[in-house]
Amino acid sequence: MLDSSLSALALLVLSPALLVIAASILLETGAPILFAQVRVGRDGKLFRLRKFRTMRRGQSGPSITARGDSRITRVGRFLRKFKLDELPQLWNVVVGEMSLVGPRPEVPEFVDCSQPVWRSVLRVRPGITDPASIAYRNEEELLARASDPIRYYRESVLPAKLELNLEYLERRSFWLDLKVVMQTVKCALFPRAFDIKNIRVAAPEDSK
């Protein structure tokens, strides 16, 4: 109830900014404004995660995005830099598909429910943000340095994220969630202050 109430309030307060973002997308590339992608939620249930559309219409490609991806629009680059494209997920929280804080939901191709780590992570509702999202704030830049971004994500980045998810779930509390939200806002407002050295994973050239 707290998640849903706070998210509904946030949507109301942020409505002017949301309208500006929507108008910017329409002016640059037209409709649709939102992008929906199937993700794996609590207990393995699939749901449609919503974001502001940051790519050109009709573009296909890998499910993960590296920095410099030609599919991303000019407005999209700005939205992604400050994580504004994630704001529509507040609606996912309102309807009970997500929480404000919790392990980020993955696309089905990267989820293996036969693994104990996934069964543990999927016991809770996924979130808009979590410690792994903060640690990998510059994930697109990291993937851009890899010769095979999808393989690198699957074999190096994702296992490290899952480890952080388990650590978070062991220590989960109201105060920890509040701290994660504050850190997320700080990273979004001051992206240049983010230190990529904090990423707990080998560099792409070390993983070959």
pLDDT score of 38:
96
3-state helix, strand, coil in the chain (%, to 5): 55, 10, 35
pTM for the complete prediction?
A: 0.86
Report how far residue 99's alpha carbon sits from residue 140's, in angstroms, rounded to the nearest whole number.
24
Q: 69, 151 in Cβ contact below 8 A?
A: no
Give, to the nearest 10 degrees, the angle between helix 15-29 and helix 74-81: 150
- pLDDT of 67: 81
What whole-number distance in Å separates Cα of residue 195 and Cα of residue 208?
24
pLDDT of residue 46: 97
pLDDT at 68: 79
Inter-CA distances, 172 with 72, 101, 180, 182, Å: 35, 10, 10, 15
Kindly state the helix (H) or strand (E) to which residue 99 belongs, with its residue range.
strand 99-101
Distance in Å from the first CA to the final CA of the chain: 46
13, 51, 80, 151, 202 from 188: Cα distances, Å? 18, 16, 9, 27, 24
Per-residue pLDDT 10s for the chain (208 aa) are 889 999 999 999 999 999 999 999 999 999 999 999 999 999 999 999 999 999 998 767 777 887 878 899 999 999 998 999 999 999 999 999 999 999 999 999 999 999 999 999 999 999 999 999 998 888 888 898 899 999 999 999 999 999 999 999 999 999 999 999 998 988 888 766 555 444 444 444 444 4
pLDDT attached to residue 28: 95
Of residues 68, 62, 66, the one with CA closest to residue 146: 66
Q: Domain boundaries in the chain?
A: 2-206
* Closest alpha carbon to 105 in 129, 73, 72: 129
Using DSSP's 3-state secondary structure scheme, residue 189 falls into helix
Q: In the prediction, which pLDDT does 194 show? A: 52
The tokens for 49 are 């995660």
Spatial distance between the Cα atoms of 144 and 166, rounded to a whole number of angstroms: 27
